[in-house]
Amino acid sequence: LTSDDTQQYWQQVTNMLEPIVIVGHANESAKAEIVRQDLGITKKETEQAKAYAASLGVSLKSVLLAVHLRALHALSGQSKLVTGMVTNGRPEAVGGEQLLGLFLNSLPFSTTTAALSWSEWIKQLAEQEHQLWSHRRYPMATLKRDMDGEALFSTLFNYTHFRAYAQESVGEALLFERGADGLTDAAFEHSNYPFILQAGMTPTGESIYLTLEVDTCRYTAQDLARFVACYRHSFTQMLTAPQTLCDKPLLQPEA
Tell me the domain boundaries of the chain.
36-90+104-240
Higher pLDDT, 36 or 255: 36
Taking a C-beta distance cutoff of 8 angstroms, is the pair 89, 24 a contact?
no
Task: Report residue 249's pLDDT band, with 50, 70 and 90 as the boundaries.
Answer: confident
The sheet carrying 155-160 orders its strands as 34-38, 208-215, 195-201, 155-160, 80-88, 104-112
d(CA 208, CA 161): 9
Q: Where are the alpha helices (DSSP H) in 89-171?
A: 118-133, 140-146
Q: What is the mean pLDDT of residues 218-247?
A: 96
Average pLDDT over residues 87-116: 73
For residues 176 and 79, which has the higher predicted lDDT (pLDDT)?
Answer: 79
Say yes or no to pLDDT of 186 above 90. no
For domain 36-90+104-240, the CATH superfamily is Nonribosomal peptide synthetase, condensation domain (3.30.559.30)
pLDDT band for position 21 (cuts 50, 70, 90) = very high
| Amino acid letter, residue 44 | K
**Alpha carbon 227 to chain centroid, angstroms:** 14
Non-local (6+) Cβ contacts of 22 within 8 A are 72, 75, 76, 154, 155, 195, 227
Per the CB < 8 A criterion, the answer to whether 24 and 219 are in contact is yes
Assess whether pLDDT exceeds 70 at residue 36: yes
Question: What is the pLDDT at residue 180?
Answer: 40
Nearest-5° Cα angle at 81, 232 to 197: 40
pLDDT band at 127 (very low <50, low <70, confident <90, very high): very high
Q: Are 175 and 102 in contact (CB under 8 A)?
A: no
Supply the pLDDT for residue 53: 97
The predicted model gives 170-185 an average pLDDT of 47
Question: Is the CB of residue 125 less than 8 Å from the CB of residue 69?
Answer: yes
Provide mean pLDDT across the span 88-110: 68
pLDDT in tens, 54-67: 999 999 999 999 99
Q: What is the structure's pLDDT at 228?
A: 97
Q: C-alpha dihedral over 49, 80, 125, 1, to 10 degrees?
A: -130
What average pLDDT does this structure show over 125-140? 91
In this prediction, residue 32 carries a pLDDT of 83
